[in-house]
A and B are shown apart, each in its own frame.
Chain A
C-alpha cells in the first residue's frame, strides 16, 4: 500500500533555531500533501496544503513565514519551523491523498517537536 515516510520522528531544538521535517511518498506520487499539527490530547488541526511545484495554501491563523512548506517534487514535501519557540512544541503529521480503488489518505508517523 501507499506509504509516507516522515523524518525525524522526534527532535529537540533550542529556541530561535529552525527545524526541517521531511515527508516522502515511497511508492506513489503525492501531488498534494497535507500538514497537520496536534497538541497534547487534542485533535489534528490542518495547517496547510502543499501542491507539487506551487505555493502552499495555509489555513487561517497559520503563519506562513514561520511554517515554511516546500513541495519541490512529487515524492517529497518539507515543513520548516523557523525561529522556533516553546509554543511551537507539538506533534506534526503529514498526509497524502491516495486515489483509485484504494482511495483514502495515508499518514506519516509524525514528528514530535520539543523546543527548549
Chain B
C-alpha cells in the first residue's frame, strides 16, 4: 500500500522567504508523485509531478521539488514566497498501474506574512 506523510500541518513564512514543504512517501513500487495546491472553496491545481526521468521537477508559480529515492522524499520548495502563495498544499502518490487512484497526504497550510 502507498502512503504519504506531510511533515508540518502548518508552515508560516515571511514574504520573500524560502518556502519548504516536506513530503515523504511509502511505496513498494516506483511511485509517481504530485504536489497540488488548493485555495479556499476551490478545486485542486497541479503544481508539479514526478513520473520518470529528471529527479528535479519544476512546476508552476516558481515551485520545484526533488525526488530523492534514498530518502523517500519529495519536498516542495520555492525560493521567495509571495502573499498569493498562501493556500493548502497536498502531496500525493500513485503507482504506474492503470486504474490506481491518487493517495493524498493530510496537507500543509502555508501562511505568508508581510
Contact = CB atoms under 8 A, between A and B. Distances in A.
Interface of A: 6, 31-32, 34, 36, 41-46, 49, 51, 93, 95, 97, 99, 103-105, 107-110, 112
Question: DSSP class of A's interface residues: helix, strand, loop or mixed?
Answer: strand
Contacts, number: 53
Interface string B23-62: 0000000001010000001111010010100000000000
A109 B41 CA distance: 9
Given A44-B90, A109-B43, A110-B42, A103 B101 contact: no
A93 B94 CA distance: 17
Interface of B: 32, 34, 41-44, 46, 49, 51, 90, 94, 98-107, 109
A110 B109 CA distance: 19
Contacts of A112: 41
B43 A43 contact: no
Nearest to A35: B101
Given A104-B34, A108-B43, A112-B41, A43 B101 contact: no
